[in-house]
Amino acid sequence: MMRALPAVACAAAPVPRRSLLLSTAAAGGLITTRSDRTTTAEEASSCRLTSGAALNAEQLPLRLTRGATGAAAKIRASADAAQAATFSSTDDALAWAKKDNRRLLHVVYRVGDLDKTIKFYTECLGMKLLRKRDIPEEKYTNAFLGYGPEDSHFVVELTYNYGVDKYDIGAGFGHFGIGVDDVAKTVELVRAKGGKVTREPGPVKGGKTVIAFVEDPDGYKFEILERPGTPEPLCQVMLRVGDLDRAISFYEKACGMELLRKIDNPEYKYTLAMMGYGSEEKNAVLELTYNYGVTEYAKGNAYAQIAIGTDDVYKTAEVVKLFGGQVVREPGPLPGISTKITSIMDPDGWKSVFVDNIDFAKELE
């Protein structure tokens, strides 16, 4: 539940190794896996972050694994193949995906001033700092913030890359949604703390729900929704897509989500779809928005991805492939630890990483 008074940040706990490696999806450096190829050390060094620059997304690679060659690569490929699932039909695959134990874990994005952002989230939005870790050898720092423990709540993962104080959010990312008891009081607090209010409290266009919009120090928009007593205050991630029916089909079939509701608003020329793994009242959801006639958006280099829990990353990757999705990181354990993940990309280029539920729970202990 959102509190009107500023929250006091709790003591930062050590960041589990899984989280450190996953968070590199938003940081630079190391030899990387990007799309369907592994970059060389020379390519990785050419992607060094430049102070004060807004970098191209390709200069911020996904650092999820080191490149394997020779015998090591063959051993890993054989192990992955041995664990791969085999579905008798697409119906069987879809049924498994729907039954898999999934939920949204966290959303990853980059910020230019970590301390300033943490201060805004804790004092203006009522979040708590759950954990923070500086990785000087890799030149980045990450912080996890939210409204409850990570084993039961959706949280944000912020990444600060040394020397980079500006990012391009792009036109594709929309906003994050936060449910509160009183929108007006929350907006008053944001304004009193020097925050930017971009939309005053009032009913949503074409509806009755009271909302407002504010911006954080990096320009990320937050929709403040009036939802008294909500168990999951951080409740939405809104992304724009070029073909809504195609996106809905992908998230239903490849990701096992449910279409919770779909709203067409011809007066304002947009259609939105709420997708997720449970009701909006109790769970964080993905809000997909289609603006009439717009088929493509610039992604920028600020927003990174959403992490989703699964009982089996191998089956998850197979389902994604069966329904035409792109797997950009094959399923398997992260180097040096047992946490298993797989990364995918939707038809519009938005990325998600699936994380093994048991491994995730162990890393949070």
Q: What residues act catalytically?
A: 223
Task: Tell me the C-alpha distance between 237 and 37, whole Å.
Answer: 29
CB atoms inside a 10 Å sphere around CB 194 = 10
Residue 142 corresponds to which tokens in the numbers above?
A: 């990450």
Task: Find tokens 């011809």 and name the residue.
Answer: 266
Tell whether 106 is in a known binding site: no
Task: Tell me the C-alpha distance between 69 and 231, whole Å.
Answer: 47
Element (H, E) at 92: helix 90-99
Task: Find tokens 């006639």 and name the residue.
Answer: 293
Tell whether 175 is in a known binding site: yes
Contact 159, 109 (CB under 8 A): yes
Can you give the three-state secondary structure of 72-83, one letter per residue?
Answer: HHHHHHHHHHHH
| DSSP code string of 290-346 | EETT-------SSEEEEEEEES-HHHHHHHHHHTT-EEEEEEEEPTTS--EEEEEE-
Return binding residues for Zn(2+): 157, 175, 223
Return binding residues: 157, 175, 223
